[in-house]
Structures are given as structure tokens and as C-alpha cells.
Structure 1
Amino acid sequence: MPKARAITIHRHFIEPGTDWNTEDFNFSDVLSAQGSSGDALSITPNFRAGAAPENAVGGGNLVDIFNAAAEWWERAILDDFDLTLNFGWAPLGGGTLAVHSLVAQEGTPNRETEGTIRFDNDGSSLWFLDPTPDQNEEYQTFTETTTTQLGGGDINIGRVYTDPVGDAIGRFDLLSLAKHEIGHALGLSRANRSFRAENMDFDIDVQAPRPFPGTEIPTRNGAHLTLNTSLMFPFFVTGERKLQSGIDILANAEISEFNNINLNPVHVPEPTSTPLILSLAMGVGTFVKRKSLKRQSGL
């Protein structure tokens, strides 16, 4: 018997030849490059257009990677809701890696019900397409960052993989970008009426029944977070993979009034030989935990 799913995200790949007329959309949430189970949320994709750029490496494909990104969000948001996402490749130019456009929103609370996500394929964006998007073996160091500075208690604000090996070196991680753009569709969108109402004072004020009430999440650059370790920070660098942090999940939950959420939906492998390093960083009240994940050469 199939497992029950509460929140459903329909993913639609846009077929080659489809018109990508952006006048069909209200606003776009643009992400730019910066140098150097019984899931409740169920995201159904619609892959609708384009081919990967010829200079992409790794051997993976957009459909599998987008599905994996959607499933990460399904493990984080457990409310009953349906979302349709059309996605595909398109030439974007101008240093733009990816863009989300809101197509439809409705309901009480108001939420996006359909969106479109495009990933740049003009050759200017150097992509890593992970053939195993549910694993992170191409990155050797995992760093978690927490802070007490946002007013609601000690909360995770970053889960980041670095020190890439093999094809991931010097490349933008498509999986991270897919997670980021889906994050826009779940609330952090300039076209989203709920976001505009919440962001009038340029932050997201977390309230009960969501966890960490009293937290004030600062925003920037439209529908992004100011915290550079967060998934929803507006810039990405090569050789890095970002997971959803607690603050990313909490921000979307507050905007869209999701109440049943999991702020730690990820499993990170334990380090094999290097001890855990705990250090004070980024100002008083912010801590960084770093795990070096030793790999055998050639992996």
C-alpha cells in the first residue's frame, strides 16, 4: 500500500521547444554566482524543457537531482499541501545560475500553488551534476553553524559541505541550487503575498506554534536571508554544497504558516578519524562544528 503524503509538490520538466515567456509570471527570484518514506510534503516535478550544457560534469541529470532536492524539502515540511513545480534548462545569462517564478498562489493561509524554475544552460555556469544526489561523497568537510543571536534561542543557521574532490572541484553544485529554488516556492518569494506582508520590516518574525518563537530572521536582496551559511543566502560559490539549515526551514514555515516541521531532516555521516572541532566564530553566541570526512583516494 502506498504511503500517505500530506503536502504534495508536483514537479514538471518543461519539454524542449516550450516558450519560456517570463511575462507569464509575476516576479522572479534570481540566484547569481559568486566567485571562488511517509513524507508529508510531497513535491511532484514537471520537467519541461532544455538540455544540460555541454560543459557540465559529473554524469548526473537534472530530473534525478531535482527530485532529490524536492525530497529533502519533503522531509522538512510535514503539513498537508500540494505544490506544482515546472522546471528545466534555459539560457539565463548575466551571471544568473537559476531563477524561480511564481505562477499561482491561493488559500488561507496564502501559499504558492504553482511555480516555474529554470537553470542556466548557456555554458557560462560551470555545473556539477551529481550522479548520486542522495550522497555527499564528493565533499570532504561538513560544517554546522548555530547562533543564539536571533532572539529565539540556539538555532542552526548553516549545514555546508566543502573541500570538494573530483568533478565537484571548481563547479557549482546543481543539487544545492535546486534546493534553493524550491525554497523560494515554499514561501521566500517576492511575488508571494504572505512574504511581502511578513517582510515589511525586512525580517521574518517567528511566532508560536512554530519552534523558536521570538526569532527574527533578517532578509536581504528580495526574498533571501542575510546569513551567508544559510541555503537561502543569495550567492553561491563553487566547490560547496549547502543543505537546508534550521533557519531556512523555519523562515518558510513562518511565511507559509506550516506548523508541522522538522528542522533537522538530514543525516550526516560521522567522521571516520578526525575529531570534532568546536570553535567560537562569527561573533559572540555563534558556534561552528566542523567534521572532516576522510575519503579514500580516488573516491
Structure 2
Amino acid sequence: MPRSPISLIRLAIGALFVAACSPSARALTIIDHFVAAGEELAGIGLAGDAPQQFNGAGSLPSVFRAAANHWERAIRDDFTVTVNYGWFATAPITPIAFHQGVAEAGTPERQIEGSIAFSNDGLLPFYLDPSPADNFEFGPLVVAQSDFGAGPINILRELAPVDAAAVGSIDLLSTAIHELGHALGLVGWPFYNDEIADGAINVVIAGFEGTTIPVMGTHLTVNGPAMSGFARPLGSRRLITDLDVLAVSQVSQFSQFLTPPGSDFNGDWQVDSSDLVNWIAALDGGTKADANLDGASDGADFMLWQQQFGWTAPKTSTTVPEPALLGVVIGLAPLGYACRERRTRWPK
């Protein structure tokens, strides 16, 4: 007999006491180099001042580091790339941001240095998230999948803005994630141009053989991924999708990578009590906590959350304990009873 939502919530609270975290190690290293106004932004020109108008109380360095963390969690090969970044008058090229390749080397060939210019023209205001490690200023995570020849794969991890500062802005974190995807492989060096000679990235990675990812220039012609050539909705936040990771890994010949499991309902690269809160909220007929992608948020998704609880992709080799777990459990208890050529441009 199926359990009621109240019984499932009680079971979830109990599970919080016994679930354990698992260790994981970082391999990719992104050396982020902020270029101050008046200094040379390699391959681009002199960096400028920050824009006079922007939303949010964050900073470009903190948001950029958070974006780098996302990619470092996803790509696990031992590899180091230097990315210079700063403010620049990008209006003749794009109102948002662009990436410029600086150097490539190695076997396999990969970009080892690039530069990213973020617009200081003020044509479109950026949202500088003061807490870029979380998605508190955004609504529930929306996911989607599609089949590119080898079975369904995630193509969307998107959150709509709910905070006033984010609404109507260009999310800087999403922009940085997109531009970093170029720095990691989707860039017009010969190794990339050879791969896309037929208009697609043809995946041969074990387990994904037969996946054909359509591209135009250095963007995916798929609506949804962070590396998409189609602009995202104004204000929304797009995170790295499985298709992004697969595209970058095939082009740069990365062999070790991770993608978040289905029960990471809030897109923070952890499966923890925060995701349980999202599952509980989605029980009222929503599909925002659909871990198994069957079109419903229900007990089966809770069971996946329970199995995956403690999954994390930290930036260092460590075991990450669940913070303030007891307090979270106590806070949940009442609910149990209430019910993204070498220069690459951001698409306009």
C-alpha cells in the first residue's frame, strides 16, 4: 500500500539521522586571474572599471570563482587552465561578455589560457549575487532531457528569478559559467574546428557513444544548456547540464567527469536536507522534485533522495558533513504534520 505524504515526510526526517556523506576529490584547476582597470586583459586590451549600474551586492571575483567551482566539480581530469577576466567595453561585439583564446598546447590539445571580458557598458544590468554558492534568490530548479542518439540526457538546469535584484538582470554567474565553457574547449582552436567539421560534436566517450550534439560556431544549437547558442530568459539562472559536460569532455578529451544526480533538487551540487525541503514543497502537485523524470514528484523521488543523500562534489578531497543537521530536522518536523574562431560571444 503506498505511503501517504505525511508518512514519507516522517520517514525522511528519520533518514536525516542515519545518512552519511561521501568523499570526492577535485582534479580540474581553474586559475582565475582578475585583471584590474588599466591593466592588460591578455588578447583583448586594457581592462576598465566596473559598470556604474548593476544589481546585487556581490563582486565579479566572488561570482567568477563560484562559476569556476561549478566546472571544477564537473571535470575531474588532472588539468590546469588559466583564465584572465575583467571589465571591458564590449559593446562593439556584445552587450554581455565574450571569451578570447590566448594559448593552447599539450597532448591532447587543450586551451591552457584564455581571457573573458565582461561588459561595463551598462546596456544590460548584471546581477552580482552576494551569495553565489547557493540559489536562494531563485525559484525551484527546472530540468529537462532530450535524446541525441544514445538515450535521454539532461539538457536543462534552470531557475527563474524571485529576488527583485535578479529579476530583469543578466545573471553574472550564468554568464561566467557559459564563458568558462568556452575556455574549457568550446573555442575556435584547430582541435575544436576539427571536431565540429561536420556541424556536430560526435561523442565517442564510453557509455555515451552515438550521441551527436549539434553546434553552430562555438555554441550548442540546443535550447537549454549553459553552452547554448540561444539566449536564456532574462533574469534566469542556467547551470551546467549533462550535455554541456559531455560536449566539453569530448572536445577537450576529458575522461573523468561528474554530473549531479537527479535528487539535487536545488542545483547546489549536493544532495542534502535542502533538497528534501524542495521535495516536500513539490508534493502539492508539482514536478520540481522529479528525480527519476517520470513526470511526478512522489515517493519514488524521495527514495532516490534517500539513496543519494550525502552525494557531493567538493573542490577538495574531503568528507563534507551535513551542517546543522539536527536544527534542520527539528525545523522540518512540523511539516511532517502540516503537509553557454577563438573569440566567442555570448548569444544576444
Normalised by the length of structure 2, the TM-score is 0.68
1:261 aligned partner? 257
Greater share of strand? 1
Please give the alpha-carbon distance, in whole angstroms, between the structure 2 residues aligned to 1:262 and 1:12: 25
**Alpha-carbon distance in structure 2 between the residues aligned to 1:247 and 1:70:** 18
State how 1:45-56 maps to structure 2 within 5 Å. Answer: 49-56=47-54
Residue number among 210, 214, 223 corresponding to 1:228 in the alignment: 223
Task: Give the structure 1 partner of residue 129 of structure 2.
Answer: 130
Alignment of 1:1-299 (within 5 A): 6-20=27-41, 22=43, 49-94=47-92, 95-148=94-147, 150-190=148-188, 192-209=189-206, 211-220=207-216, 222-234=217-229, 235-264=231-260, 266-267=269-270, 269-270=275-276, 271=278, 272-275=280-283, 277=286
Q: Deviations over 1:182-237 (max 9, x none)?
A: 000111112x221101100111011033x4111001112x1001111110012233
Q: Render the CA deviation track for 1:60-118: whole Å, top value 9, x for unaligned.
A: 00000000000110000000111000000111115430000000001111000000001
Paired with 2:82 and 2:228, the residues of 1 have a C-alpha distance of 24
160-169 vs 130-139, greater mean Cα deviation: 160-169
Q: Deviations over 1:31-74 (max 9, x none)?
A: xxxxxxxxxxxxxxxxx943321210110000000000001100
Instruction: Give the Cα–Cα distance (whole angstroms) in 1 for the partners of residues 117 and 96 of structure 2.
Output: 9
Q: Which moved more, 1:137-146 or 1:169-178?
A: 137-146
TM-superposed CA distance for 1:290, in Å, is 8.9
- 3-state SS in 1 of match to 2:74: coil
How far did 1:154 drift? 1.6
Higher helix residue share: 2
Unaligned runs of 5+ in 2: 1-23, 262-268, 299-348
| Structure 2 CA distance for aligned equivalents of residues 19 and 109 of structure 1 | 29
Give identity over the alignment, percent.
38
The CA distance in 2 between the partners of 1:153 and 1:120, in whole Å, is 39
Work out the CA distance in 2 between the residues paired with 1:290 and 1:255.
Answer: 35
Q: Counterpart of 1:11 in structure 2: which amino acid?
A: D
Q: Contact 2:44–2:115 (CA<8 Å) still a contact in 1?
A: no
Q: Matched residues in 2 for 1:256 and 1:189: separation? A: 10
Question: Number of paired residues?
Answer: 256
Q: Is the 8 A contact 2:67 2:173 kept in 1?
A: yes
Aligned to 2:341: none
Distance, in Å, in 1 between the alignment partners of 2:137 and 2:25 is 33
Amino acid at match of 1:207: V
Q: Equivalents in 1 of 2:183, 2:223: separation in Å?
A: 20
Write the letter of the residue equivalent to 2:203.
V
Q: Deviations over 1:109-157 (max 9, x none)?
A: 1000000001001111211100000111111132100112x00112101
SS at match of 2:98: strand
In structure 1, what is the equivalent of residue 11 of structure 2? none
CA distances 1:10-34 after superposition (whole Å, capped 9, x unpaired): 111112112457578xxxxxxxxxx
RCO comparison, higher one (Cα < 8 Å, 6+)? 2
1:188–1:252 CA contact under 8 A, matched in 2: yes
Equivalent-residue separation in structure 2 for 1:288 and 1:213 (angstroms): 27
Give unpaired runs (5+ residues) of structure 1. 25-47, 280-285, 292-299
Name the CA shift for 1:198/1:264 in 2 (closer, same or farther; >3 Å).
same
CA distance in 2: counterparts of 1:289 and 1:63, whole angstroms: 39
> Quick check: 2:31–2:80 contact (8 Å CA) kept in 1?
yes
Which range moved further: 223-232 or 92-101?
92-101
| TM-align CA RMSD | 2.6
Q: TM-score, normalised to structure 1's length?
A: 0.79
Conserved in 2, the CA contact under 8 Å of 1:198 and 1:205? yes
Cα gap change, 1:214/1:289 in structure 2, threshold over 3 Å: closer, same or farther?
farther
Structure 1 residue 278: deviation in Å?
A: 5.1
In terms of Rg, which structure is larger? 2
